[in-house]
Amino acid sequence: MASEQKVAAITGAANGIGWALAQQFAAAGYAVCAIDLDLDTARARAKELSGDHDGFACDVSDADQVAKAFAAIDKRFGRLDVLVNNAGIVGSQEASIHQDMEYFDRITKVIVNGTFLCSRAAYHPMAAQRKGAIVNVGSIAGLVGLPRRNAYGAAKAGVHSLTRALASEWAAQGIRVNAVAPGFIATSMVQGLVERGLVDEGRLSRRIPMGRLGTPDEVAEAILFLASDSARYITGSVLSVDGGWAA
């Protein structure tokens, strides 16, 4: 018999926003399935949390790996209440005229295909329970135009669109699908852009109405709300968590 404890699968859980999510979902009483390309770190992270959690290896863009990871989750925990599609890559940030098309395709595969494949894998246990919540991590880059975020922006706009499509399709099965659209959040992803001179942190902070970058915890808290029963009448929404940038 499946346990009473709720189970949350979080992709890209080894770092940044995903790690903040793993900690917050564990603190809220969920068993956390930390899914990542980097299995060693995902497992180590799961061990750092107190309680019954586990790490799972998966490249979310690969249909076979996604199927295997979700089968392993089902075997291990026997239920699935929440999926957060958080895994993502920011891309090479080339000037669009020089953008490498292999990288363009890779970004689309990880962000759009990855979100779709994991959502479909989560559908089966959630539909069987007639209840589930999926929260996708979109981006401000999918809402407003940002230079050089060609593939990334298009892919994140795709995630927002998938959110709405699946929300309207799966409401009948009791599955809610929402997204957050974070602005600039202090993780290694943004740090990498700063180090490569592609982003100036001071200029960035001045552009943000609230005057600073966000933290992974601030994004995780919004996701925890959308996944919870407090958001039981909310589906198909894209919630900006950006200090007012897109306002």
Q: Which residues bind ligand NAI (CB under 6 A)?
A: 11-12, 14-18, 36-38, 58-61, 86-89, 110, 114, 137, 139, 182, 184-185, 187-190
Cβ proximity to ligand NAI: between 23 and 139 the closer is: 139
Cβ proximity to ligand NAI: between 62 and 173 the closer is: 62
Cβ proximity to ligand NAI: between 174 and 192 the closer is: 192
Residue 6 in tokens: 């709720």
Cβ proximity to ligand NAI: between 108 and 139 the closer is: 139
**Chain length of the chain:** 247
Residue 214's φ and ψ, nearest 5 degrees, are -85, 170
Residue 185's φ and ψ, nearest 5 degrees, are -120, 135
Measured CA to CA, the distance from residue 29 to residue 192 in angstroms comes to: 33
H and E: helices and strands count for the chain:
9, 7
Closest separation in Å from C-beta 247 to ligand NAI: 16
Cβ proximity to ligand NAI: between 80 and 185 the closer is: 185
Closest separation in Å from C-beta 183 to ligand NAI: 6
SS3 state of residue 31: strand
CA end-to-end distance (rounded Å), the chain: 47
Closest separation in Å from C-beta 123 to ligand NAI: 19
Burial profile 5-19: b = 16 or more Cβ within 10 angstroms, e = fewer: ebbbbbbbbbbbbbb
Closest separation in Å from C-beta 131 to ligand NAI: 25
30 catalytic per annotation: no
Closest separation in Å from C-beta 226 to ligand NAI: 14
| Beta bridge partner(s), residue 55 | 34
- Which residues are within 8 A (CB) of 201 and not within 5 positions of it... i.e. 6 or more apart? 194, 213
Q: Which of 30, 103, 123, 152 is catalytic?
A: 152
| Closest CA relative to residue 103, chosen from 151, 149, 58 | 151
Closest separation in Å from C-beta 129 to ligand NAI: 25
Measured CA to CA, the distance from residue 143 to residue 141 in angstroms comes to: 5
Cβ proximity to ligand NAI: between 172 and 247 the closer is: 247
The runs of H, that is alpha helices, within the chain are 16-27, 39-48, 63-77, 101-108, 114-129, 150-170, 188-195, 201-207, 216-227
Q: Which residues are catalytic?
A: 152
